[in-house]
Amino acid sequence: MTIAEVHAAIQAAANASRPVDLRGADLHGVDLTRADLTRADLSDADLTGAKLRGANLTDANLAGANLVRADLSDADLTRASLRDANLTGTKLHGADLSDADLTGAKLRDADLTRAKLVSADLACADLISADLTHANLTGANLIRADLTGANLRSADLARANLIRADLNDVNLTDANLTRANLTDANLIGANLTRANLTDAKLTDANLTDANLTDANLIGANLILATLTNVKLSGADLTRAVGVVKKQA
């Protein structure tokens, strides 16, 4: 579709008070900066390199869409469906993805700095090397998500579900993991310096070579956690419980 045709379709839908239907459309490189795409159907659309900065995509359907290297900075994607979407290298700085469905989405190398992902579903998502600095993931579902090498410095993961998540070599410096569920998570080589793990569940988690210097582990559950070569200098383990499999 040409840019004129895209804008015409959006205007026609708006005039008819209905969501625009752009399923499977070729929209690569299109400029839809600050466009109103509320409840739009963009499932399986090709939005490679598209400019969607500040766009309103509330309740939009982007399932299976190709958003590689697209710019969605400051976009509103509240409750949007991005299930199995490809967001590799996508810019999502400051975007609102609260309650969004990102199940199985590819977010490798994505920029999610200061993004809002409150209660978002990221189950089995690929977040390898993604930048989530200062992101808000309160109550998010990250079960079995792959966050290998991701940057979560100062991120808020309070009450997040990280069961069996891969957090190998992740940066969680100053992150908030209060009451997070990290059961059976892989935290090998993770940097958790000054992280807040108050009442966090780390049952069966693998923390081999992890850095927990000055971390807050008050009330944390470390039952059967592996702490081989872990750094705990200055860590607060008040009321923490657990039987360690291995400890240097």
pLDDT tens profile 95-146: 999 999 999 999 999 999 999 999 999 999 999 999 999 999 999 999 999 9
Query: What contacts 8, CB < 8 A, 6 or more positions away?
Result: none
Looking at 62-186, list the stretches that DSSP marks H as alpha helix, in order from N- to C-terminal side.
none
Count of residues in the chain: 248
- Collect all residues with Cβ–Cβ distance below 8 Å to 183 and sequence separation of at least 6: 163, 164, 201, 202, 203, 204, 205
In angstroms, the Cα distances linking 63 to 34, 47, 103, 244 are 21, 12, 10, 42
- pLDDT digit string, tens, across residues 187-235: 999 999 999 999 999 999 999 999 999 999 999 999 999 999 999 999 9
Amino acid at 160: A
Predicted TM-score of the model (pTM): 0.94
How far apart, in Å, are the Cα atoms of 201 and each of 119, 144, 193, 214, 217? 18, 16, 17, 18, 10
Question: 10 Å Cβ neighbour count for 231?
Answer: 19
Phi/psi for 19 (5° steps) reads -70, 145
